[in-house]
Amino acid sequence: MLSGFVLTYNYYDSQLLDYFKKRIARIYPAYLCCGIISFPFLFTDNLTSGQIISCLVLYLVCMQAWIYQSFSLWNFGGTWSVSVEMFFYSLFPYILKIINKDNLIFITLFAYGFSAVLVPISLIIGGPTVGSVYYATPIFRLPEFIVGICAAMYFINGKRINNITFYISVTMFFYATTLSDVNMDTNYLIIPTLALIICYLGNLEITKNILTSCLIYLGDISYSFYLMQLPLLMYLDRNPDTFLRTHGIASWILVFLLNLAMAMLCWHFIEKNSILRSLFLRKEARA
């Protein structure tokens, strides 16, 4: 939902020239860096050569989220989200063209309703199934993305959330998380409350100081932080006796600092690397 909101806020009423290239240039270098760092772990899980090659192919084309059985393989338990985002990025320009002021309410309600009933109906018809089917499969996440787009359109058109609505939304959001152990089974509450929270936070005025500057920086490196945790967690999972797991809070602090350092390096030298970005943004020469 957040990605739908942010993309719409940034690209609404603007030219989408080279949009997809820019998104690839934004996320793929760090994603590829994560794959390179975690590559050795492909050979620690007794995978066949066919499985290893399949994992690499799925990773390179960002298709791992479409095969839920792969969720437990390699780094797919984390990089599925990038795969889902790539699917959304490819659809975004077309969805944005479809939604307008005349059908905004209808599409918002339709996407919300679809998201609210999809998992419960699936459980009624098919019974319990692998959680990753709902949690990581792009089609189950698409309605949330569309709600995020619609929320951004309301925000851009001047709709604002007051303090009381925000506090009620936060309360209901946390209440909804206690209602079920099934992923996305409470979307009927999660989706609207989260949309309201995002719209409220989007209107906050931030005073520039040391604290907010640090928070903004952490936001800048958050994508790298997310990716760099994956090889670190894979190492911890395969080495239960390492110092990083056996010394309680000290281990947690050290793991966090390592993750933070890796994220900072990735952001400065990979994400912000103009040479790497230019490889994806290079324009074709005209004949």
The predicted-structure confidence for 194-243, as pLDDT tens digits, reads as follows 999 999 999 988 888 999 999 999 999 999 999 999 999 999 999 999 99
Per-position DSSP letters for 194-262, written without gaps between them: HHHHHHHHTTPPPPPSHHHHHHHHHHHTHHHHHHHHHHHHHHHHH-TTSHHHHSHHHHHHHHHHHHHHH
- Residues 156, 161, 162: CA angle, nearest 5 degrees: 145
Tokens of 160: 């604002």
pLDDT band (50, 70, 90) for residue 285: very low
The CA distance from 71 to 136, in Å, is 8
The CA distance from 147 to 5, in Å, is 8
- Average pLDDT of 130-146? 84
- Average pLDDT of 74-93? 94
**pLDDT above 50 for 86:** yes
pLDDT band (50, 70, 90) for residue 287: very low
Which single residue is written with the structure tokens 């943004």? 281
pLDDT of res. 131:
66
Neighbours of 234 (CB within 10 A): 21
pLDDT band (50, 70, 90) for residue 22: confident
pLDDT of res. 252:
94
Greater model confidence, 59 or 129: 59
DSSP 39: G
Look over the chain and give the mean of its residue pLDDT values, rounded to a whole number.
90
Contact present, 168 and 25 (Cβ < 8 Å): no
Write down the domain spans for the chain.
2-201, 210-281
pLDDT band (50, 70, 90) for residue 190: very high
Q: Measure Cα distances from 193 to 24, 110, 113, 235 in Å.
A: 30, 16, 14, 36
* This prediction's pTM: 0.89
Radius of gyration of the chain (CA): 21
- Residues 26, 13, 93: CA angle, nearest 5 degrees: 55
**pLDDT above 90 for 174:** yes
